[in-house]
Amino acid sequence: RNIEYSSNASIAYDTAAEQAVRGGFGFIRLLTEYSDDSAFEQDIKIKRVRNQYSVYLDPDFTEPDGSDANFGYVIERITKDEFERRYPKKESGDFERNAGDHYWYEKDHVRIAERFKRVPVKKTICLMSNGEVMDKEKIEPIIDELAQDGITVVRERVVQTYKVMWSKISGASILEGPKEFPSKYIPIIPVLGEELIVDGEPVYKSAIRDAKDAQRAYNYSRSAHIELSSLAPKAPFLIGTSQLKGGLDKYWSTANTKNHSYLPYNDQDNNSVPSRNMGVQVQPGLVQESMQAADDIKAATGIYDASLGARSNEASGRAILARQREGDISTFAFSDNLSRSIQHIGRILVDMIPKVYDSTRIMRLRFQDDSEDFVEINKTVRDVQTGKKFTAYDLSYGKFDAVVTVGASYTTQRMEGNEALLQATQANPNLWNIVGDLIFKNMDWPGADEISKRMRKTIAPQLLEADSEEAQQAQMQAQEPTIDQQLQEMNIKAQMGKNEASVMKSEADMMKA
């Protein structure tokens, strides 16, 4: 979560999702960067791909998240001067040698590419006597030390895995690398639209592809309507040439551009009054056609007015929700594919984190409610009892998976939950004494946290969490007697003692008598 936060990953997710909706596919990529100009430690970053057509991913991948892709290219177009500044001793490309193919080399620009290739490798893993599974190449240097601790190899087996090699190339030479990328997956993640198989090849549809014909009809009808509307006020006048004698043409030539108070004409020879040719009129059929085309667009995409928050023919809330669900069903492939891609990003992060964050450093932890904490990882600690050294917060231990849930953000959930609590307290005011602290805790205005803490002290201890600090303090206070109670008990005991002594003295006197 902190990697997403520091990378502004929402920008990458939104860009890829928009590209999938508009064009059928988009991409997100992962890379590593130094944490600072004065440090050797690297951080993992989630980056957007601004131009989805600059990425060439293995066309034979079958998983919607691209997890089985075996190679990928990310193309970058830079100026020739920038290329010479970055790589002064490298070839950008040979124009003559690449005759007929000018892709890599232009007059003023050069294309370079990052190349990722997944290579199958074999390694031997060992099952240790303490139940731990380790790579054989890692335990060979410390096999004697493990034997002293009574840890031996129980079983071995050879497994097939992958490593990814990275390099940067031009049209004529290798500019950087090759070197190993810290993951077994290609760090280019596709975000796909609707997938179809046409003639044995995959085709990815955008959300608007089926609405193209309806959009053309809408554009035509609206353009024709606007054209006629713009021509209607400028209908020409029918006037004889003899009616313009005497220099009157200066009035009539500007009749459509100036607001004349009168338009004089020559009425000699019994000329008739000039009139407009009203042949150009707005056709109501074009308006109806554009409305029908707009409805066809909604039907083709499955996105109606209710899905966009606009008022439509639906009158009841149930009808609006039904129409919104209809829009969700028609576009579920896009949100599902984005969720799968984000889940694969989490899977790659789980694979990369132990390899990138492998030194002793302080890491920031970020929780769902945006609160944060810090922890020192990979720190060597000595056990006080045994004196043996071990690594605390070793990120290379354990196997993990990633799960993605699609829904509102934490801020939105908090606001919705707070609104529901307020409605519940209006229906049942007695709830205010039970959940009042939670209502103030979820508010964002200054002082809300302080009010929440004060209200929490007024709540009955049995309603609080058993392990909360407030519940423990309240329980201790309930169990501890007050000073007045203690004094009262002491007085009662003292009085009982006096009475008992008096009774014993009376009995002794009676015995003497």
- Angle formed at CA 114 by CA 108 and CA 117, multiple of 5 degrees: 150
Hey, CA dihedral for 41, 46, 49, 50, is it positive or negative?
negative
pLDDT at residue number 472? 52
Is the pTM higher than 0.75? The answer reads no
Q: For helices 9-23 and 332-356, what crossing angle results, to 10°? A: 140
Would you say 26 and 17 are in contact if contact means Cβ atoms under 8 Å apart?
yes
Residue 136: Cβ-neighbour burial (10 angstroms; 0-12, 13-18, 19+)? middle
Backbone angle region of 25, left / alpha / beta, with phi > 0 → left and psi within -120 to 50 → alpha? beta
| Residues 296 and 208: beta-carbon distance below 8 Å | no
Give me the tens of pLDDT residue by residue for the chain, a chain 513 residues long.
889 988 999 999 999 999 999 999 999 999 998 887 777 888 999 999 999 999 999 999 989 899 999 999 999 988 888 988 998 888 776 444 444 455 555 678 888 899 999 999 998 888 888 878 888 888 888 888 888 878 888 888 998 889 999 999 988 889 998 999 999 999 999 999 888 888 888 889 888 888 899 999 999 988 888 887 776 666 677 787 788 887 888 888 887 778 888 888 887 766 678 877 665 566 778 888 888 888 888 887 877 766 665 666 666 666 666 666 665 666 778 888 998 999 999 999 999 998 898 888 888 888 877 778 898 888 888 877 777 777 788 887 777 777 777 766 666 667 777 777 778 888 888 777 777 777 777 777 777 778 888 877 777 776 666 445 554 555 555 555 555 565 566 666 666 665 665 655 666 666 665
Q: Angle at the Cα of 124 (from 121 to 127), degrees rounded to 5?
A: 145
Q: What is the pLDDT of residue 327?
A: 59
CA-wise closest residue to 437 among 474, 470, 472: 470
Cis, bond preceding 187 (omega within 30 deg of 0) = no
Residue among 175, 173, 169, 168 at smallest CA distance from 94: 173
Structure tokens at 393: 């917060």
**Do 31 and 45 form a contact (C-beta atoms < 8 A)?**
yes
User: CA-based diameter of the chain, in Å?
Assistant: 168
Contacts of 183 (CB under 8 A, 6+ apart): 30, 164, 348, 351, 352, 355
